[in-house]
Amino acid sequence: MTVGPLNDILVLDLSRALAGPIAAMMLGDLGARVIKVEAPGTGDDSRTWGPPFVGPADDPQSSYFMSANRNKESIVLDLKSEHGKDALRRLIRRADVLIENLRPGAFDRLGFAADVLEELNPRLITLSITGFGHDGPEGSRAGYDQIAQGEAGLMSVTGDPDGEPTRIGVPIADVLAGVHGATGVSAALASREKTGKGMVVRTSLLAAAISAHTFQGTKWTVGEQVAQRSGNHHPQIAPYGSFRCADGYVQIAVGSEAIWAKFAPVAGLSAQDPRFAVNRDRVAAREALIAAIEADFAGRPRVDVLAALEAAGVPAGSIRTIDEVYEWEQTRSQGLLLEVEHPVVGPVQLPGPSLRMETADGASLVRTAHAAPPVLGQHTEQILDWLDSVDATDPLDAMVPARA
């Protein structure tokens, strides 16, 4: 039995690419058994995304696929065949959660409309993730992260003020849709404990991206101001951003007047300077403030500036490259780097889960051992054998035929 609060939950992951797989992976991190259902020959689209690919030249493995598919088993089913549909029906009868991110109506056309799923398993929770929502005038559009970032306004507030609208450097709409989806599934599982009934949980890349607007959204909905790009500086707090030193940049977050009083002397400024007296003044005089800070920092090495800021109690940091992040001891101390044994590649390191759950005495309540992302169809025979076994020992009413 896998350790975790969801260790008695079976999840069927019929999703591809990123948002759905991330939701399924999060549930797997919390102990659920996750069976990834993939098409024969190709499997998940992201198996072909790269470079980089790793492993032997005749069996290259996508590092992109590995980012969203740890702690899963892979079964290959042709859902256009009756044999594949029968196997999926048998899995659905046993499952707690089903995740799909097809275009609206596509799963219905395969023969698995909501009423069919309810008949097969009234306790089933279905997570359905789309690009732009399940209805509305543009609900049928295909969903890809960068398109969603643009349509949802994120690119319009990202980048330099004089530059182009810029894509966020990670697929943030996909990631957030997965996180919201997993949250919705967790709530639905809690609800099922009370009602005994399943439900459909819905989210989209559009909804997830708009959920990230926070103050940029209310800047318009409440303040009737359209947010603009502000580069590496916060549009409503100052000083809050990145500043040049002699050998690089430091990041500073002066989020209160108390912190400003600590910060000003470090940058050679007076906290009582009338130009910068309170945050409203500092935002209005942002360019002059940045110039004054960088004039002081220009002759000082980054390490010295960071040491002075830390001594003064000012929140600050550096800008790390991705490799530096994974070499950082703080990252490793938080379980954010895992080593797993991949069946083709051998030992590989993966980014780890963001949640930790512990008892009062510090004992972990979630996985401490993780499984590598599966190769295509790695567990097909094992899963079908398991189905045969449980169907024989624990038959369900109206069970579909066993495999031939």
Q: pLDDT tens, 141-189?
A: 999 999 999 999 999 999 999 999 999 999 999 999 999 999 999 999 9
Is 119 found in the same domain as 41? yes
99 with 21, same domain: the answer is yes
Does the pLDDT of residue 319 top 70, yes or no? yes
User: How far apart, in whole angstroms, are the C-alpha atoms of residue 145 and residue 132?
Assistant: 11
The CATH number of residue 21's host domain is 3.40.50.10540
Q: Which residue(s) pair with 128 in the sheet? A: 100, 202
234 within domain boundaries: no
Q: Which of 224, 253, 228 is nearest to 238 (CA)?
A: 253
Domain count, the chain: 2
Distances (CA, A) of 61 to 17, 44, 255, 346: 15, 12, 44, 11
Q: Is residue 222 in a domain? A: no
183-238 pLDDT tens trace:
999 999 999 999 999 999 999 999 999 999 999 999 999 999 999 999 999 999 99
Residue 48, SS3 per DSSP:
helix
CATH value at residue 244: 3.30.1540.10
Shared domain check, 276 and 162: no
Q: Which residues contact 175 (CB under 8 A, 6 or more apart)?
A: 18, 19, 22
User: What is the percentage of the chain residues whose pLDDT exceeds 90?
Assistant: 91
Provide the pLDDT confidence category of residue 292 given band limits of 50, 70 and 90. very high
pLDDT, tens only, 333-354 = 999 999 999 999 999 999 999 9
* Among 44, 96, 174, 391, the one annotated catalytic: 174
Q: What is the pLDDT of residue 105?
A: 85
Q: What is the pTM of this model?
A: 0.92
Residue ranges making up the domain that contains 269: 240-317
User: Is residue 4 situated within a structural domain?
Assistant: no
pLDDT digits (tens, 9 = 90+) for 9-54: 999 999 999 999 999 999 999 999 999 999 999 999 999 999 999 9
| pLDDT classification of 401: cutoffs 50, 70, 90 | very low
| Per-residue pLDDT, 397 | 56
Regarding whether 308 and 259 lie in a shared domain, the answer is yes
Place of tokens 């399924």: 24
Co-location of 104 and 149 in the same domain: yes
Question: For residues 103 and 149, which has the higher predicted lDDT (pLDDT)?
Answer: 149
Give the pLDDT score at 250: 97
Q: Which of 290, 317, 344 is the last residue of a domain?
A: 317
Going by pLDDT thresholds of 50, 70 and 90, the confidence category of residue 394 is: confident
> Residue 324 domain-assigned?
no
Q: Is residue 226 part of a domain?
A: no
Distance between CA 300 and CA 303 in Å, rounded?
Answer: 8
Residue 2: CA count within 13 A, CB half-sphere: 23
Beta sheet of 248-253, edge-to-edge order: 240-245, 248-253, 316-317
How many helices (H) and strands (E) the chain has is answered by 16, 13
Same domain flag for 259 and 372: no
**Same domain assignment for residues 191 and 262:** no
The tokens for 189 are: 């599982």
Choose one of 294, 317, 340: the last residue of a domain: 317
In a domain, 340, yes or no: yes
In this structure, what token pair is assigned to residue 301? Answer: 């090495």
Indicate whether 403 pLDDT > 50. no
Is a pLDDT exceeding 60 seen at residue 402?
Answer: no
Look up 29 and say whether it is catalytic: no
Given 317, 344, 366, the domain boundary residue is 317
